[in-house]
Amino acid sequence: MSSPTDADLYPVAERRPDLLTTGTGAPLDHLTVENLASGSAGQADIAISADALRLQARVARGAGRSRLAENFERGAELVAVPDAVVLEIYELLRPGRAASIDILLQAADGLRRDYGAERIALLVEEAAATYLRRGLFRRRF
């Protein structure tokens, strides 16, 4: 849930850094030049977490931006999805890539089952229904 006061969390890095963790779950303060140089922090730390995105969704909704908030929530679901899978799903959603509606529906099931990505799955299912109605399951190349 959110309320207008959620916008007061913002900027989170300045007002509530205690709510943030790096990509490996370390506190934000762990991300320093020294730690990156010594190797005790690394690129895996320089990544946003699903929790941070859900926090930004609360901020967005608090500021009156429901659609932006929904995107942040979809983004939160994709944090745990590997790059290769993300790119694979994107490719499937492009016109003419999936040969039938079943392929998209199976992809949605997989996202729901393997990553708990309910919102993303709904998006893919909605796309599948529209593609079927508009005849997009056709070869383009």
Partner 1 sequence: MNDGSTPNRWKRYDHWDEKPLAQDRFAVEDAEHGFCAVASPWDPAPGLVIEGGRIAAMDGKPAADFDMIDSFIASHHIDPEVAVEVMAIDSTDLARRLVDIAVPRAELVRLATGMTPAKLAEVVGKLSAAELTFAQSKLRARLQPGNQAHVTNAKDDPIQMAADAATAALYGFDELETTVRVARNARTCALALTVGAAAVRGGVLVQCSIEEAEELRLGMAGLTSYTETMSVYGTEDVFIDGDDTPWSKAFLTAAYTSRGLKARCTSGAGSEVLMAFHEKKSMLYLEARCLCVQRGMGVQGTQNGGIDGASVAGSVPGGVKEMFAENVMAALLDLECASGNDTRHSHSDMRVAARVLPPLLAGTDLICSGFGSIAGYDNSFALSSFNGSELEEYLALQRDYMVDGGLAHVPEDAVMAARSSAIEAISAVLEELELATVTVAQKASVLHAHGSQDTTTYSLGAVAAINHAMEDKAVNLADVIAALHRRGFDVVAENLLVMARQRVAGDYLQTAAVIRGGKVVSAVNQPNDYRGPGTGYTPDGLRRDALARMRTQIGRPDVMAAEGRIGDEERRAFRLVPKGTAAKGEDLREVVIAVSPGFGAELNKTTGECRHSEVLRMLTQGIAEGGGTARIVRIRHTADTSFMGLTGARLAGSGIAIGIQGKGTTVIQKAGLAPHTNLELFPQAPLITLAHYRQIGANAAAFARGESPEPVVIPPYGDALGAKFHVRTALLYHIEADLADPTAEPEDLDLVFSD
Does 42 contact partner 1 by CB under 8 A? yes
How far separated are the first and last CA of the chain, in Å rounded? 45
Residue 27's beta-bridge partner residues?
21
Helix %, strand %, coil % of the chain (to 5): 65, 0, 35
Q: Which structure tokens are listed for 19? A: 């709510």
Q: Which of residues 43-82 bind partner 1 (CB under 8 A)?
A: 43, 45-49, 52-53, 55-56, 59-60, 63-65, 67-72, 74-79, 81
Residue of 49, 45, 65 whose CA lies nearest to 12? 49
Does 100 contact partner 1 by CB under 8 A? no
Per CB under 8 A, residues contacting partner 1 are: 7, 10-14, 17, 20-23, 28, 31-34, 36-37, 39, 41-43, 45-49, 52-53, 55-56, 59-60, 63-65, 67-72, 74-79, 81, 83, 86-87, 89-90, 93-96, 120, 123-124, 126-127, 130-131, 133-134, 136, 140
